[in-house]
Amino acid sequence: MATAIRNPRPNPAPDRRHPVDPAAAPARGGPSNGKAGGHDLIGLKELSPEAICALLDRAQWWAEHPHARSDALRGRFVANLFFEPSTRTRFSFEVAARRLGADVLNFSAATSSVQKGESLYDTLRTLEAMGVEAAVVRLAEPGVLAELAPRLAMRLVNAGDGANEHPTQALLDMLTIRQRFGRLEGLTVAIIGDIAHSRVARSNLYGLTKFGARVLFAGPEPLLWHGHGGLAEVVSVDEAVEAADVVMMLRVQRERHVDPAAVPEDYLARYGLTVERARRMKPHAVILHPAPVNRGVEIADELVEDPRALIFRQVENGVAVRMAVLERAVQGGDAGWAS
């Protein structure tokens, strides 16, 4: 049964002896108050290590209380605007918002005024005028949210923009890794597959390297991304699998491919995580995948639920991370959590 809770102090060291009722804390932000107190989450490239650490600490607390609820966002409206298909990310955000007591509006592009030519900015301004305080947005165009955020009083949370960033997915990946190893520093994380089209790969690269992790990229040459500025090392798939503490397989995003020949028929054998390759992983190494999974394409079917695979743990952690992100967006982050 769900448990109503009070908010603890999550950062830097959670202090569960002196919980504070969030209802007693002063309301922060709001459409009429500009950005004061609230925080957008556009990407991890520009986010400080301290801010990332605070989010991971807060998410860890929610992960340790998977049935807990809060009224921290009671009376606040959050809108989910997904212009691309999504199952787990959209529902994960909705579950997170509802567990925080928020009222959730789900946007359907197919039945909205976007079909009449309304711009994303005007759609967001309209929602803002109605009192919506935060919008979770997924769209195909990269970089648009960064341009819109300064023009809006509402908080924006990036749920994936083109091949640019997917910050909450990277945060839940980092949380999952930290739970298993107790740290990020000094670990080797191999990101393998369709990196060219992967916003997950980019956000993980930016986030993990800020904490001293070594990132390896591997995959077919047409699907690699060389704009990493030296943050990643490009190696063969076999080298990556054998060197990694974390093997992160990426979905082959056929819907974004211009050249179908970029994905050969024997993709699994040449670039995927086969059972034979998995035998050559380090004994302590784990498997991650952002999902949805193409079983038998980038990963062998039997490895999806292998004991080394943390794919469903990642999904669990997704709710915890998004609760922390929404609290930060609407309440103002660790200052809001503690006051």
> What amino acid positions are annotated as catalytic residues?
88-89, 116, 138, 166
Alpha carbon distance 88, 80 (integer Å): 13
135 annotated as ligand-binding: no
DSSP 57-97: HHHHHHHT-TTEE--TTTT-EEEEEESS--SHHHHHHHHHH
220 annotated as ligand-binding: no
Alpha carbon distance 177, 171 (integer Å): 10
**Token match 């002896």: residue?**
17
Alpha carbon distance 334, 15 (integer Å): 13
Alpha carbon distance 272, 299 (integer Å): 5
98 annotated as ligand-binding: no
74 annotated as ligand-binding: no
166 annotated as ligand-binding: yes
Alpha carbon distance 281, 247 (integer Å): 8
251 annotated as ligand-binding: yes
210 annotated as ligand-binding: no
List C-alpha distances in Å: 221 to 17, 192, 202, 203, 261: 53, 11, 17, 20, 12
- Residue in 82, 80, 79 with CA at minimum distance from that of residue 31: 79
199 annotated as ligand-binding: yes
Alpha carbon distance 18, 113 (integer Å): 47
For residue 132, give the 3-state DSSP assignment: strand
Which residue ranges are tagged as binding site for carbamoyl phosphate? 88-89, 138, 166, 169, 291-292
The annotated binding site is made up of 88-89, 116, 138, 166, 169, 199, 251, 291-292
Write out the binding residues for L-aspartate.
116, 199, 251
